[in-house]
Amino acid sequence: MVYGYVVRDQPEKWGERTRAAAGIGARQLRNSWTWLHKLRRAMVRPGRDLLSGAVEVDETYVGGAEQGAQGRETENKAIVAVAVEKSGRGLGRIRLRRIEDVSANSLLPFVQSAVTPGSAVHTDGWKSYAGLAKAGYQHQVTVISGGSEPAHEVMPRVHLVASLLKRWLIGTHQGGVQHQHLDYYLDEFTFRFNRRRSKVRGLLFHRLAEQAVAIDPAPYRTITGKPMVPSASVSQGQ
CB proximity list for 196: less than 8 A, separation 6 or greater: none
- Answer whether residue 23 shows pLDDT above 60: no
pLDDT at 186: 94
pLDDT at 113: 96
Stated pTM of the model: 0.78
Q: What is the mean pLDDT of residues 85-105?
A: 96
Cβ contact 122:144 at 8 Å: no
CATH architecture type of domain 49-63+72-216: 2-Layer Sandwich (3.30)
pLDDT at 98: 95
The string of pLDDT tens digits covering residues 156-213 is 999 999 999 999 998 887 777 878 889 999 999 999 999 998 888 888 888 888 888 8
Instruction: Measure the CA–CA gap between 93 and 83, rounded to whole angstroms.
Output: 8
Dihedral pair phi/psi, residue 117, rounded to 5°: -55, 145
Instruction: Measure the CA–CA gap between 112 and 208, rounded to whole angstroms.
Output: 26
Q: How confident is the model at residue 27 (pLDDT cuts 50, 70, 90)?
A: low
**Measured torsion, CA atoms of residues 221, 223, 225, 226, in degrees rounded to the nearest 10:** -40
Domain boundaries defined on the chain: 1-40, 49-63+72-216
**For residue 44, which amino acid is it?**
V
Collapse the DSSP code of 81 into the 3-class scheme (helix H, G, I; strand E, B; otherwise coil) and give the result: strand
Instruction: Measure the CA–CA gap between 59 and 107, rounded to whole angstroms.
Output: 9
Q: DSSP letter for 63, please.
A: S
Q: Where are the alpha helices (DSSP H) in 115-155?
A: 151-154
- Answer whether residue 235 shows pLDDT above 60: no
Mean pLDDT, the chain, rounded, equals 82
Strands 120-124 and 138-142: parallel
